[in-house]
């Protein structure tokens, strides 16, 4: 008996010593894990890191949605619906297979976090820190506008020309540096840009949330809508602001913004938030940097303003590109608003709205057409021409500009290239011509598409336009729809 007790005590001491050693080594193990993870991020391809990032937050969001739902709401959603919603929020694609009001408040908060960490501003900020991890600072670049000498032999080895010079040293503009040359950028410059992005993210999201919250507590009509649906002011304000800035398109109510189509002030508050997070992100970022440079007089901000391409951050543009981008965005919005008002003014979707509400609603729809996804009308009730127009707008990238970009070349060949580039920028692609003609036919044949949908529909019009284009370019006999 005594012997067995001694053996048990001995085993207990051995187990305790083993457990103590493992607990003492846990901080060291955690430190090594973080070190190896950091090295993995530095050495991995950015695309691979992004795939891991979005996959992790998507499945993490799914797990959180499932746990929170089971704790607070007896209604159980299917696992596939939760996973799809989590992926949709993580990729800011605004697609859902369930109604938003089925989610509890805690789940709405989880979706808010997913939209925040998946928005363009936040992910681009992570990309900047990833780029900083890829290289160590090795001194600052020459801030006169030119960097180090580059060997033309290495640059021309892939595309040798008749006038190429072997071993010649030339000055390379900073704006033409590639990623591997960004280790010449000062570390403080990268850090200042990271701080500015953090401030931009906080100001836009907190400012947008505060503006929506103040509107809700001051307007009784909006309060009644949320009280009827049992949605809190705070969660609605933060959720809608982050969704608008991230261009996700989700709202806490089932009807999206249709239920607020007469609340014009709320729509006007959301319009700048949508633009700040997408098409006008680069111009607003440059304006903010210009303001900080004037206030703080820091040389890092001055350098970024003078040489935005040297940093390697894709959302940094020079002043002329920002102006061209803003002009393009404004022209697109005005064009869409005019077409929407002219084609849908007397439609059933807008029949309960007055003239001012229709104009604001058309403006809101036009801003949302490019990637945001919020809407004040049922899209299925709109005419085919408007749907074609919105399809074209969704196809265009965020920084589409039909005006020529700046070019730093001053030589005769550079000036010729600049003039040729300007002409090419004004010439649309073949796909653009097809889309424009399909849109024009949908507008002119609006009544026929409503009365005879069998012969006049989007598919038949698109088919005929492509058929005629193919026949004119290549000849021969084209197919016909019977």
- In three-state secondary structure terms, 282 is helix
Return the pLDDT at 98. Answer: 86
The burial of 158, by beta-carbon neighbours within 10 Å (0-12 exposed, 13-18 middle, 19 or more buried), is given as exposed
Looking at the DSSP bridge assignments, the partners of residue 173 are: 146
Query: Which residues in 420-445 are b (16+ Cβ under 10 Å) and which e?
Result: eeeeeeeeeeeeeeebebbbebbbeb
d(CA 362, CA 339) in angstroms, rounded, equals 9
Predicted confidence at residue 429, as pLDDT, reads 58
Is residue 107 within 8 Å of residue 259, measured between CB atoms? Answer: no
Query: Residue 355: enclosing H or E segment and its boundaries?
Result: helix 355-368
Query: CA–CA distance from 237 to each of 162, 216, 363, 482 (Å)?
Result: 63, 8, 21, 53
Per-residue CA distances from 255 to 113, 226, 374 (Å): 22, 12, 10
Are the beta carbons of 189 and 289 closer than 8 angstroms?
no
Give the C-alpha distances (Å, rounded to integers) separating 371 from 57, 168, 239, 256. Answer: 21, 47, 18, 15
Burial of 141 (0-12, 13-18, 19+ CB in 10 A): buried
314 near 130, Cβ under 8 Å?
no
Residue 34's pLDDT is: 59
Tens place of pLDDT per residue across the chain (482 aa):
566 666 666 666 765 665 566 555 656 655 666 555 556 555 666 778 888 889 999 999 999 998 886 545 556 688 889 999 999 999 888 788 888 888 988 999 999 999 999 988 998 888 887 777 665 544 444 443 333 333 333 333 344 444 444 444 444 443 333 333 444 567 778 888 888 999 999 999 999 999 999 999 999 999 999 999 989 999 999 999 999 999 888 999 988 899 999 999 999 999 999 999 989 999 999 999 999 999 988 888 888 888 888 888 889 998 899 999 999 999 999 999 999 999 889 888 888 899 999 999 999 999 998 878 889 998 888 888 888 888 888 888 888 887 665 544 444 555 555 555 555 555 555 666 677 777 788 778 777 777 777 667 777 777 667 656 554 444 444 444 44
* 137 burial level (CB within 10 Å; 0-12, 13-18, 19+): middle
Give the pLDDT of residue 411. 45
Phi, psi of 151, deg, nearest 5: -85, 115
Which H/E stretch holds residue 149? strand 146-151
Token pair recorded at residue 423: 């002409």
Domain ranges in the chain are 40-118, 141-180, 189-361
pLDDT value of residue 384: 81
**Total residues found in the chain within this entry:** 482
The backbone torsions φ and ψ at residue 189, rounded to the nearest 5 degrees and listed phi first, read: -65, -45
- Quick one: pLDDT at residue 398? 86
From 222, 199, 201, select the one nearest 269 (Cα to Cα): 222
């Amino acid at each position: 008996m005594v012997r067995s007790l001694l053996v048990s005590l001995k085993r207990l001491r051995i187990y305790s010593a083993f457990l103590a050693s493992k607990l003492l080594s846990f901080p060291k193990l955690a430190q090594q894990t973080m070190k190896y993870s950091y090295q993995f991020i530095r050495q991995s391809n950015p695309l691979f890191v992004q795939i891991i990032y979005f996959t992790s937050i998507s499945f993490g969001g799914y797990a959180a949605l499932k746990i929170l739902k089971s704790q607070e709401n007896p209604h159980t959603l299917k696992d596939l619906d939760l996973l799809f919603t989590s992926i949709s929020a993580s990729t800011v694609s605004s697609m859902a297979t369930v109604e938003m009001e089925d989610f509890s408040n805690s789940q709405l908060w989880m979706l808010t976090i997913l939209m925040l960490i998946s928005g363009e501003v936040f992910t681009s900020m992570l990309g900047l820190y990833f780029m900083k991890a890829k290289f160590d600072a090795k001194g600052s670049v020459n801030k006169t506008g030119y960097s180090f000498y580059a060997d033309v032999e290495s640059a021309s080895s892939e595309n040798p020309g008749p006038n190429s010079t072997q071993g010649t040293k030339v000055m390379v503009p900073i704006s033409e540096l590639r990623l591997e040359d960004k280790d010449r950028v000062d570390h403080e410059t990268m850090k200042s840009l990271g701080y500015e992005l953090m401030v931009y993210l906080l100001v836009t999201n907190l400012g947008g949330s505060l503006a929506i919250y103040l509107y809700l507590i001051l307007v009784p009509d909006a309060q009644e809508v949320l009280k009827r649906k049992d949605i809190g002011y705070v969660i609605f304000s933060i959720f809608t602001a982050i969704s608008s800035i991230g261009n996700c398109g989700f709202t806490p109510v089932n009807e999206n913004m249709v239920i607020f189509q007469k609340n014009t002030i709320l729509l006007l508050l959301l319009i700048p938030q949508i633009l700040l997070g997408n098409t006008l992100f680069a111009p607003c970022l440059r304006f903010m940097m210009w303001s900080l440079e004037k206030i703080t007089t820091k040389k890092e901000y001055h350098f970024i303003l003078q040489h935005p391409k040297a940093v390697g951050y894709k959302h940094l543009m020079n002043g002329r590109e920002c102006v061209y981008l803003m002009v393009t965005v404004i022209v697109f919005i005005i064009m869409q608003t005019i077409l929407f008002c002219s084609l849908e003014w007397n439609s059933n979707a807008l029949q309960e709205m007055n003239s001012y509400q229709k104009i604001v609603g058309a403006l809101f729809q036009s801003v949302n057409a490019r990637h945001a996804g919020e809407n004040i009308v049922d899209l299925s009730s709109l005419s085919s021409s408007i749907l074609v127009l919105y399809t074209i707008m969704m196809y265009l990238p965020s920084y589409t500009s039909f005006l020529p970009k700046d070019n730093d070349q001053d030589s005769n060949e550079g000036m010729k290239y600049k003039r040729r580039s300007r002409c090419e920028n004004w010439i649309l692609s073949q796909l653009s011509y097809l889309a424009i003609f399909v849109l024009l036919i949908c507008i002119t044949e609006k009544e026929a598409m409503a009365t005879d949908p069998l012969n006049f529909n989007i598919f038949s019009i698109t088919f005929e336009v492509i058929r005629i284009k193919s026949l004119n370019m290549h000849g021969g006999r084209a197919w016909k729809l019977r």
